[in-house]
Chain A
Amino acid sequence: DIQMTQSPSSLSASVGDRVTITCRASQGIRNDLGWYQQKPGKAPKRLIYAASSLQSGVPSRFSGSGSGTEFTLTISSLQPEDFATYYCLQHNSYPPMYTFGQGTKLEIK
């Protein structure tokens, strides 16, 4: 099974900061990775698909990069509404065994 290691597990930052979250796959997954945002009590929301494609309607301050085993989600200038938990998801394995990262809780400093 493909394991996803997400870091950091938590992060304190201020409005306006640039933030980067990383996911590492235990084996190469090409660009079969997405990023999701979840706010307390709400369903997750997809931000990025195919490692670097921005979901329609998602602000351009969110960006994704990477391929193979290392991936990053970057928020260029944090806004108050961005404080949430972020998850990566790999969907490379067949038969499908989708795997989420452990999550990164982004908190206000």
Chain B
Amino acid sequence: EVQLVESGGGLVKPGGSLRLSCAASGFTFSSYSMNWVRQAPGKGLEWVSSISSSSSYIYYADSVKGRFTISRDNAKNSLYLQMNSLRAEDTAVYYCARDLEFPFDIWGQGTMVTVSS
């Protein structure tokens, strides 16, 4: 079964850091571009970052550029999001999602990040 499972969310103070992980299974992880998408409580979906299959191409939304770093370890079938200088407006459920020719065909269940003092 194709599956993505996020972890690493939690409560963090403004200015703090957090590292999210996404474990992939049921498909050849190294063949696919991957993404992070977030959703603030009661709000819509916002694309955060993308990384190509070999990590050659990396892109960020302007709202996180310079603060967040996406990476992957194909040997471990894992995707990561290092989040630094966190702000209250980063509070959201963070989803990892796969690209299969077109974006976001498979999604994880999400992990909640709360930035609050």
Question: CB within 8 Å of B: which residues of A?
Answer: 34, 36, 38, 42-46, 49-50, 55, 87, 89, 91, 95-103
Task: Tell me if B61 is interfacial: C-beta within 8 Å of chain A.
Answer: yes
Stretch binding the partner chain, chosen from B19-27, B71-79, B100-108: B100-108
Task: Report whether A97 and B45 are in contact in the complex, using a CB–CB cutoff of 8 Å.
Answer: no
**What string of 1s and 0s marks CB contacts (under 8 Å) between B31-51 and chain A?**
000010000000011110010
Task: Report whether A102 and B107 are in contact in the complex, using a CB–CB cutoff of 8 Å.
Answer: no
Chain A binding surface, main DSSP class: loop
In the complex, which residues of chain A have a beta carbon less than 8 angstroms from the beta carbon of B82?
none
Closest chain B residue, CB of each to CB of A43: B107
In the complex, which residues of chain B have a beta carbon less than 8 angstroms from the beta carbon of A89?
45, 103-104
Please measure, in the bound complex, the distance between the C-alpha atom of A101 and the C-alpha atom of B45, giving whole angstroms: 8
| Cβ contact of B103, chosen from A38, A45, A91, cutoff 8 A | A91
Task: Report whether A46 and B104 are in contact in the complex, using a CB–CB cutoff of 8 Å.
Answer: yes
Task: Report whether A34 and B44 are in contact in the complex, using a CB–CB cutoff of 8 Å.
Answer: no
Please provide the chain B residues from 83 to 117 with a CB less than 8 Å away from any CB of chain A in the complex.
Answer: 95, 101-105, 107-110
In the complex, which residues of chain B have a beta carbon less than 8 angstroms from the beta carbon of A49?
101-102, 105
Closest chain B residue, CB of each to CB of A55: B105
Task: Report whether B108 and A43 are in contact in the complex, using a CB–CB cutoff of 8 Å.
Answer: yes
Task: Report whether A91 and B108 are in contact in the complex, using a CB–CB cutoff of 8 Å.
Answer: no
In the complex, which residues of chain A have a beta carbon less than 8 angstroms from the beta carbon of B46?
100
Residue of A42, A44, A50 with highest tally of chain B CB at under 10 A: A44
Min CB–CB distance A41 → chain B (angstroms): 9
Task: Report whether B109 and A98 are in contact in the complex, using a CB–CB cutoff of 8 Å.
Answer: no
Please measure, in the bound complex, the distance between the C-alpha atom of A46 and the C-alpha atom of B66, giving whole angstroms: 30
In the complex, which residues of chain A have a beta carbon less than 8 angstroms from the beta carbon of B104?
34, 36, 44, 46, 89
| Cβ contact of B50, chosen from A38, A44, A45, A96, cutoff 8 A | A96
